[in-house]
Amino acid sequence: MKISKLINLPTYSCALTIIITDQIKTESKKVYKKHTIEDDDDEEENEGLLITTNDANYFLIVDIRYLTHNTIAHEIYHATVRITEDRNVVDEEAQAWLCGHITTEVYKFIEKKKLIVTHGKG
């Protein structure tokens, strides 16, 4: 199972693809291969990860088994930091607006696909 959504970020001249899957390792390997970048994922199992390519594309991948508010926030934070750092944007307000925008788009996508986000273990 794999569902994805492309989010264009014209202000930052890039795009972020959200992928929710039950095969995170397989999907990440596809992205690494397609964009001819080295697979730096040494871990056996990830809840989520962010992949940065050399062509202004970012991939936020979440394992559906770990579709929690914490995992989503964690990966959106990584995306926000990477996108802004790659463009030398250090203004917190700009970063906060980007984080909010990505969060809104991710949750609209999740809602449209009727997926359930849990609170995780607490």
What is the predicted pLDDT for the residue at 66?
Answer: 96
pLDDT tens figures, 80-106: 999 999 999 999 999 999 999 999 999
What is the predicted pLDDT for the residue at 37?
Answer: 86
User: Domain segments of the chain: what residues?
Assistant: 2-112
Counting other chains too, the contacts that 75-81 makes at CB distance below 8 Å and 24 or more residues apart are 75/48, 75/49, 75/50, 76/102, 76/103, 76/106, 78/50, 79/16, 79/50
Q: How far is CA 99 from CA 19, 82, 93, 107, 112, in A?
A: 17, 11, 10, 12, 20
* Residues whose CB falls within 8 Å of the CB of residue 5, separated by 6 or more in sequence, listed in order: 17, 18, 105, 109
What is the predicted pLDDT for the residue at 42?
Answer: 60
What is the predicted pLDDT for the residue at 122?
Answer: 55
pLDDT tens figures, 26-78: 999 999 999 988 876 565 678 999 999 988 999 999 999 999 999 999 999 99
pTM over 0.85: yes
- In the predicted model, what is the mean pLDDT of residues 19-28? 96
pLDDT tens figures, 6-18: 999 999 999 999 9
